[in-house]
Amino acid sequence: MAELIIDTKKCIGCGLCIKSCAYNALSLANKKAVVDDDCVFCGSCIKSCPVEAIWIEREIVEIKDLTNYKDIWVLIEEDRDEILPVSYELLTKGRELAAEKKCDVNALILGNNIQKKFENIFEFGANKIYYFEGSEFNEKLDEVFIEYLDYVCKVYNPEIFLFGATGFGRSIAPKLAARLNTGLTADCTILSIDDNGLLKQTRPAFGGNLMATIICPNHRPQMATVRSGVMKAYKVIDKNRRKELINIEAIKLQNKKTELIERIIEEKTKSISDAEIIVSVGKGIGSQKNIEIVQKFADLLGAEIGVSRPLVDIGWAGYEKQIGQTGSVIAPKLLIALGISGAIQHLAGISGAQTIIAINTDPEASIFSVADYKVVGDCIEILKGVINKLTV
- The nearest distance, CB 125 to another protein, in angstroms, is 24
Give least dist CB 321 to ligand FAD, A. Answer: 10
Closest CB to another protein among 171 and 295?
Answer: 171
The 183-212 site mask, x for binding another protein (CB under 8 A), equals: xxxxx------------x---xxxxxxxxx
d(CA 74, CA 166) in angstroms, rounded, equals 14
Part of the chain binding another protein (CB under 8 A), chosen from 104-112, 246-254, 287-295, 374-382: 374-382
Compute the least distance from the CB of residue 343 to ligand FAD, in Å: 3
SS3 state at 338: strand
One of 120, 138, 157, 171 touching another protein (CB under 8 A): 171
Q: How far is CA 184 from CA 17, 68, 107, in A?
A: 28, 20, 19
> By three-state DSSP, how is residue 175 classified?
helix
- Under the binding rule (CB under 8 A), the answer on residue 278 touching another protein is no
Residues in 26-85 that interact with another protein by CB under 8 A: 36-44, 48, 59, 79
Instruction: Check if the beta carbon of residue 77 is closer than 8 Å to that of residue 91.
Output: no
Query: Residue 37 and residue 212: Cα distance in Å, rounded?
Result: 19
From the list ligand FAD, another protein, none, pick the one residue 41 interacts with, judged by a Cβ distance below 5 to 8 Å according to partner type.
Answer: another protein
101 to 130, contacts with another protein by CB under 8 A? none
User: Pick from 20, 27, 138, 192: which binds another protein (CB under 8 A)?
Assistant: 20
Choose from another protein, ligand FAD, none: what does 12 bind? Cβ within 5-8 Å by kind.
none
DSSP string, 292-326: HHHHHHHHHHTPEEEE-HHHHHTTSS-GGGBBSTT
Give the residues lining the site for ligand FAD (CB under 6 A): 207, 282-284, 286, 308-310, 322-327, 339-341, 343, 345-346, 349, 359-362, 365, 378-379
**Taking the complex as a whole, how short is the minimal distance between the CB of residue 206 and ligand FAD, in angstroms?**
7
- Report the greatest alpha carbon distance in the chain: 74
Angstrom distances, CA of residue 158 to CA of 81, 115, 169, 352 = 26, 23, 17, 31
Rounded distance, CA 149 to CA 308, Å?
36
